[in-house]
A and B are shown apart, each in its own frame.
Chain A
Amino acid sequence: MKAVLSSADISRAITRISHEIIEKNRGSEDIVLLGIPTRGIHLAERIGSEIGVIVGQSIPVGTLDITLHRDDLRSKPPRALTPTKIPSGGIDGKRIVLVDDVLYSGRTIRAALDALGEIGRPALVQLAVLVDRGHRELPIRADYVGKNLPTSHEEIVKVSIHEVDGEDQVQIAGSHE
């Protein structure tokens, strides 16, 4: 296991992403952050509160469970569902920012886009991830990236988030360990 992002690196990345979201959207109007379980939920909450501090008003943060839209359901036993919480304003006409920990094949995000389509019709959808490790299998890219991390397929990227794992850290485990 090699640490690639420390706790301080992660909080700097979240601050930067928060600023970038405001910059790209020219403010925080109509922005809704949706975290993808499990760790994306907490990242979305952190970004949400940072943006709240920067612009001086809180912005809606929710969660989006994608389990029922996955394309690999048939390869594993059934997965437990986690709650989908859409902020009271809904998502119609809003600027949605999906938040996840790692962007890899892009299949999770495809499922998230399908899940969103069932709930409503946003004005636009953007994607923020803490780590982009490459190896896309679908034409999907992130708008906001904490760190680009070139990896091989054999390597494992492990994101730890304080709310879930007790500490903030990103580690990478090599193929020969």
Chain B
Amino acid sequence: MSDVVTPVLKRHLLSIDDLTREQAILILDTADELARISDAPIKKLPTLRGRTVVNLFYEDSTRTRISFEAAAKRLSADVINFSAKGSSVSKGESLKDTALTLQAMGADAVILRHSASGAAHRLAEWTKGSVINAGDGTHEHPTQALLDAFTIRKHLNKNPEQNGGVGADLTGVNVAIVGDILHSRVARSNVLLLSRLGAKVTLVAPPTLLPVGVSDWPVSISYDFNNAIGECDVVMMLRLQLERMKSAFFPSAREYSRLFGLDMERLAKGKKSPLILHPGPINRGLEISAECADSADSLILEQVTNGVSIRMAVLYLLLGGADA
């Protein structure tokens, strides 16, 4: 008989800060086990039968929403998809009223994507069910960071004896996060998680795209990508979030691409032939060349696959047990 999980998760997953190192490793290990189910001929488990999960998306999303939906369905939960377009939000309904409506319909978990930083925290105060932050403004996107850590761990522990790195953290791994750090919730969550797991994180960006207070983060900072790529095991490219840019952060897209974009020539400067990660969607030819995005070291599509396993793990660990 298996014992009850010792580092039990909190009711919500709002920020990587909610997780201890042990809890983060538990999520990665659980995802590793669940990944095997995604390879099985029958990709369905009865575990969350009768639970209702609402995808509450106020911002556009392809992979996160579909990934959560696939994860919930593989665990037999019922999924309700809600997008702000075509709902009563256009009639002026507030987040709180929408949340209370969903709760009245019996939602056990709400997965929220919102353009306002802190939206998930507010929602968690109003609802009885679990809240999972699927990206709030420029604040955090915890499941993306978990799937990135999972992808890195799996690839740096290819030796079959290490069993895909189950139980391990990321001590000694050098990760460069490159690009639009300022607007990136993915970067914030990743900095917190990767450093908590023991990785050494370097942020590479023009000074205009680094947030205020970055000197207090547990990272080193570089303005020179050519130099920074040398010792990297992993380069994580970020999308330039042009939709959030209300002023000029760099002289031209071409110059940005030349200084901070990833192409084959720059990749060759890496001594350890680094793994390439990108949370998507990709601006091909801007932050990453098409050649790099499609190269053998690119894990971009594997990140998508691993995203489903990570989200299954989070849903199982939040909803799989007794009601809190």
Which residues of A are interface residues toward B (Cβ below 8 A)?
Answer: 37-38, 65, 67-69, 73-84, 108, 114, 117-120
Q: Is the CB of B36 within 8 A of A78?
A: no
Least Cβ distance of A150 to chain B in Å? Answer: 21
Q: Which of B6, B30, B34 has the most CB of A within 10 A?
A: B30
Q: Is the CB of A80 within 8 A of B47?
A: no
Chain B positions 1-29 with a Cβ under 8 Å from a chain A Cβ: 1-6, 8-9, 26, 29
Q: Given the known inter-chain contacts A78-B321, A118-B45, please indicate yes or no for A84 contacting B8, CB distance below 8 A.
A: no
Residue of B nearest to A39 (CB): B1
In the complex, what distance in Å separates the CA atom of A75 from the CA atom of B317? Answer: 14
The 5 closest A-B pairs by CB, nearest first: A78-B321, A81-B33, A78-B320, A77-B321, A68-B47
Residue of B nearest to A119 (CB): B40
The interface residues of chain B lying within 8 Å CB-to-CB of A73 are 47, 320-321
From A74, A77, A81, A114, B30 is in contact (CB under 8 Å) with A81
Q: What are 8 pairs between A and B in contact, CB < 8 Å? A: A68-B46, A78-B318, A80-B2, A80-B3, A80-B4, A81-B30, A83-B33, A114-B46
Q: Given the known inter-chain contacts A74-B321, A74-B322, A78-B320, please indicate yes or no for A84 contacting B1, CB distance below 8 A.
A: no
Q: Given the known inter-chain contacts A118-B42, A120-B41, please indicate yes or no for A78 contacting B317, CB distance below 8 A.
A: yes
Q: Is the CB of A77 within 8 A of B45?
A: no
Which residues of B are interface residues toward A (Cβ below 8 A)?
Answer: 1-6, 8-9, 26, 29-30, 33-34, 36-37, 40-42, 44-47, 163, 166, 316-318, 320-323
Least Cβ distance of B51 to chain A in Å? Answer: 10
From B4, B34, B166, A76 is in contact (CB under 8 Å) with B4
In the complex, what distance in Å separates the CA atom of A103 from the CA atom of B6? Answer: 26
Q: Is the CB of B41 within 8 A of A80?
A: no
Q: Is the CB of A79 within 8 A of B33?
A: no
The interface residues of chain B lying within 8 Å CB-to-CB of A38 are 1-2
Q: Which of A37, A75, A79, A84 has the most CB of B within 10 A?
A: A79
The interface residues of chain B lying within 8 Å CB-to-CB of A75 are 322
Q: Is the CB of B5 within 8 A of A80?
A: yes
The interface residues of chain B lying within 8 Å CB-to-CB of A117 are 42
Q: Is the CB of B44 within 8 A of A118?
A: yes
From B4, B42, B166, A77 is in contact (CB under 8 Å) with B4
In the complex, what distance in Å separates the CA atom of A108 from the CA atom of B317? Answer: 20
Q: Given the known inter-chain contacts A68-B45, A68-B47, A108-B1, please indicate yes or no for A78 contacting B316, CB distance below 8 A.
A: yes
In the complex, what distance in Å separates the CA atom of A108 from the CA atom of B1? Answer: 8
From B8, B29, B46, B163, A78 is in contact (CB under 8 Å) with B8
Contacts A69-B46, A78-B8, A119-B40 aside, 19 further interface pairs with beta carbons under 8 A come to: A37-B2, A67-B2, A69-B45, A73-B47, A73-B321, A74-B323, A76-B322, A77-B8, A77-B322, A78-B316, A78-B320, A79-B2, A80-B3, A80-B4, A81-B33, A81-B34, A84-B33, A108-B1, A118-B44
Residue of B nearest to A80 (CB): B5
In the complex, what distance in Å separates the CA atom of A84 from the CA atom of B163? Answer: 12
The interface residues of chain A lying within 8 Å CB-to-CB of B45 are 68-69, 118
Residue of A nearest to B313 (CB): A81
The interface residues of chain A lying within 8 Å CB-to-CB of B6 are 80
Q: Is the CB of A77 within 8 A of B33?
A: no
Least Cβ distance of B2 to chain A in Å? Answer: 5
Q: Which of A38, A77, A117 has the most CB of B within 10 A?
A: A77
In the complex, what distance in Å separates the CA atom of A82 from the CA atom of B44? Answer: 18
In the complex, what distance in Å separates the CA atom of A82 from the CA atom of B37? Answer: 13
In the complex, what distance in Å separates the CA atom of A93 from the CA atom of B178? Answer: 51
The interface residues of chain B lying within 8 Å CB-to-CB of A74 are 321-323
